[in-house]
A and B are shown apart, each in its own frame.
Chain A
Amino acid sequence: MSLVDRARSATTLAGGLGTILDSGLPAPAPAGHTLVPAGHPGQPLAHPLAGWEGLALVRAERVSCPEAVRLLAAVRIGLTERMLRAAVEHLTGRVADGRPLVDHPVLRGELADLTATLALCWQGLGTGTSTAALHATLDRAGWATSVLFGASGYLRDHPVRCLYLAELVHDTWSDHVGLA
């Protein structure tokens, strides 16, 4: 299995980051600090959310690593696909207007759009879609997936929180600056 395939098949955010960093790539830290799996070398800094997903914020030498940021997109694709499958189960179990939510056309359309978006991102990893564009798309797809869980997806202990933490990892890993 290739590295990008292994990144996509990670079942946790920390596991996905571990797959990338265990390959020998440095943890990107363009601002001098970075979110990494807990236990990764580096001087730990306080962060209110990192521990939720087994991560730690550490001080690190300023370094960019575009390949690690590209592989992070693969991790995010895999986690979003996983959460999308969980969302289908959630929507199957909830009823509105006498039928499961998953049978409502609006939500079916959303599930199809999200699946298509993730498939396009996955292909884009191999065809040279810019990493910044991939992550911007994954930000939107991650939120759209979280919304499928309703307010329960906004609880701190809900597994879909990993998609928000993945956004924060991207924030510390990427040296891309938005259009100014």
Chain B
Amino acid sequence: MSDWREIGRALRAGALALDAAPHDTEAIAADEALRAVAELDPIMLSGKDSAAALIELARGDAGMVLAAPGPALAGRVLAQLGDDEQRERLRAAVAGGRTWAYLAITEPDVGSDATRLRTELRRDTDGRYRLYGTKRYIGNGHRGTVGVVLARTGPSPLALRAVLLDTARARTRPLDMLGLRGAQISELEFDGVPVEERDLLGAHLSPLRRGMWSIAQVFTAVRVQVAALAVGTAFAIHDLVADHHPSSPTLDDAHANIRAAEALVLRAAAEADHDRESAAPAASLAKLTATGVALDVARTLPRLLGPAALVTHPLLEKWCRDVRAFEFMEGTSQIQRLHAAQGIVRGSVWHAT
């Protein structure tokens, strides 16, 4: 893991420039550390290894991690729902840092509530599928040329499929966000974008497992990865403050809390690798705690550096904005609480043993 940590450290050099100009794809392409991040292949790694790598990389800068060309979170979906040919298509599309992959779930007004998504995959009279709808708050949606889109296939709340888009393009526009600007959060509009049969993910799974069931597994996998980014950012804040402030109980407590959140994230990732279906409450708890710890660290530690710490240390200020983004990615804390509570009621959440 020390390699990922080294790459993470190298990411910091370009973090503020990227925050100021997230649309500068030439600068991204020229950044050696970003090219190294592109080597992270979530299709090949276990969820736990991928989460561990993301923690170390985000300890450098999460915005830079998400700006790196590569399969990103879409790779985790392909690892789970894709067949060999689809995985190879994604891998080939992003090979050598050629492009970015996006994962398009969230929509205007309904967020990431999968049962209320409106984007439709319709079958036309010619037998071809076409995609209609709008996705919002999608990382790398504007600069990416390949991605996974979640769409409705019928009126039932459970009638959902994920599709791989690597040739057809949506109309896209970047959104101007407060933080995590390196991810270039975007809006994508699909107005009859053609989708081939071979683009449908999960075709090799039983019909019962292609739709909502598989989407629930996607959320479980991706939530753990977002939690890993939050933990890494909390470490980054701690590390920077510790570099300028002597050891103190506040710093030590924060470090212990971040490590505890890290342990929960890695445990949830391992559980999801073992049995993703039963790991959903654990993934929600991991995201809930990781996001909470990161926000708490961002709120308390900069004050140790005295007045105007957020002006004197612009990276610190940027990370204080960045950690807020994790709240909104793949379900807010309220959503995670509902999922975790469901697991508690069913008795499927592990206890603090």
Contact = CB atoms under 8 A, between A and B. Distances in A.
Contacts of B2: none
Contacts of B310: 168, 171-172
A57 B314 CA distance: 13
Interface string B143-159: 00000000000000000
A47 B245 CA distance: 24
Contacts of B31: none
B179 interface: yes
Nearest to B314: A48
Contacts of B328: 150-151, 154
A176 B304 CA distance: 9
B250 A178 contact: yes
A166 to B, nearest CB: 12
Pick the most buried of B179, B300, B328: most chain A CB atoms within 10 A of its CB: B328
A112 interface: no
Given A150-B328, A171-B308, A180-B249, 17 more contacts: A31-B311, A33-B308, A106-B337, A107-B334, A150-B111, A154-B178, A154-B179, A154-B324, A154-B325, A156-B177, A157-B176, A168-B311, A172-B311, A175-B306, A175-B307, A176-B303, A178-B303
A27 to B, nearest CB: 12
B308 A30 contact: yes
B250 A179 contact: yes
Chain A interface extent, by class: 35 or more
Main secondary structure, interface of B, reads: helix
Contacts of A151: 106, 111, 136-137, 328
A150 B333 CA distance: 11
A96 interface: yes
Given A94-B109, A172-B307, A164 B178 contact: yes
B10 interface: no
Interface stretch (A16-24, A74-82, A114-122, A139-147): A139-147
Contacts of B176: 155-157
B178 A171 contact: no
12 contacts: A30-B306, A31-B307, A32-B308, A94-B109, A150-B328, A151-B136, A151-B137, A164-B178, A177-B307, A178-B304, A180-B246, A180-B249
B248 interface: yes
A48 to B, nearest CB: 6
Contacts of A161: 178
Contacts of B111: 150-151
Interface string B100-119: 00000010011101001000
A177 B299 CA distance: 13
A174 interface: yes
A180 B245 contact: yes
B36 interface: no
B189 interface: no
